[in-house]
Amino acid sequence: MHLNTTLPPYPDGWYVVAFSSELKPGDVLSRRFAGQDIILFRTQSGQPAIIDAYCPHLGAHFGYGGCVVGDAIRCPFHAFTFNTGGDCISTGYNSNPPPKATVRTWPLQETHGLLLVYYAADDQPPDWHIPTLDTEGWLPLITSSWMLNSHPQETSENSVDLGHLMVVHGYENLQILKAPHLDGPYMTARYGMRRPARGMMSTVDTEFTIHLHGLGYSLVEVSIPVMNLQTRQFVLATPEDEGKLRLNIAVSMQKFSADMRQSGILRLLPRVLLNVMMPHLIMDGFTRDVQQDFEIWEHKTYISPPILAEGDGPVGKYRYWTRQFYPQLRGTAS
């Protein structure tokens, strides 16, 4: 049997490099992404931008002493100033900017509290984007992140690996309510399951609708009908260097409103308290679930082709779908 134990480290697609709440007007953030140093900054008027970290003049790092001036970023070394398009608009000497003094800019999308950067191995501009979510009636994101030794394809694969949901996370009565549907860089499916609950009941019937947009953005819409509870759970894997990724997670809950009836102990709690307390309880449970996978992710190898069994879930379909994000692998087995 042939084992392909490596994947190209940086699949094409959109990746979260920061949450919007981390980047206020005038802020500058340093990040690693796809083996490179990049900078995020937000102009005083509120526009975000992502550029290479190093000034093309004499190589200073914008993240160490650089600052936002109006709608541009200024280098700390010689005060060369660059706009959001990467063009040098002034020097520190009131001389004409050198025509070749430009810094690379990266495709950027900001939506529903996320700042995303686009990577393509061939440097082509994006021909698809992350859909915008309506956040009216939803609470702000609660977020967390970790550094892991893994790959975005491995972490995203968990959303279709039904077998591990039972073995690792203890879910029961797993059902595929909507078979996986593939549409270009988008994949969706819906599952029903009974999962462990903490506090109010031992188990609870839950429906998960997964939305994968590439390998860096996974949204799971979670519905618990008995509690009239709707949440959005994000798993956002961003490759920083080969074999290393930053795993960001986030949770948002639909607000409990006056016309929503609660059941069980929820009936006894004021709506304002529910809207404060429940998102943090949900985030605690989500964090525990995600952390259960860490040791496996960090020590597993990638096997291609996999030896699949009944009960695994649509892993094979997922592997086929992922090939589009690797120009190197298109037309090969996964």
Omega before 305 cis (within 30°)?
A: yes
Output the six-digit token pair for 148: 């892991």
121: left (phi over 0), alpha (psi -120 to 50) or beta: alpha
Looking from the CA of 319 toward its CB, the CA atoms found within 13 Å total: 17
CATH superfamily entry for domain 23-106: Rieske [2Fe-2S] iron-sulphur domain (2.102.10.10)
Residues 205-264: tens digit of each pLDDT: 899 999 999 999 999 999 988 878 899 999 999 999 999 999 999 999 999 875 545 554
What is the 8-class DSSP label of residue 224?
Answer: E
Domain 142-325 indexed as CATH 3.30.470.20: no
Report residue 1's pLDDT band, with 50, 70 and 90 as the boundaries.
very low
% of the chain at pLDDT higher than 70: 90
- Give the burial string for 139-175 (b: 16+ CB within 10 Å, else e): bebbbeeeebebbbbbbbbbbbbbebbbeebebeebe
DSSP, collapsed to helix, strand or coil, labels residue 234 as: strand
Burial annotation 207-235 (CB, 10 A radius, 16+ → b, else e):
bbebbbbbbbbbbbbbbbeebebbbbbbb
pTM (2 d.p.): 0.92
Could you say which DSSP state residue 20 is in? G
Which residues neighbour 265 within 8 Å (Cβ) at sequence distance 6 or greater? 200
Mean pLDDT confidence for 155-174: 91
Indicate the domain borders of the chain.
23-106, 142-325
The H-assigned helical ranges of the chain are: 152-157, 162-167, 271-291, 294-299, 315-322
CB 235 within 8 A of CB 139: no
**Spatial CB neighbours of 290, under 8 Å, sequence gap ≥ 6:** 235, 247, 249
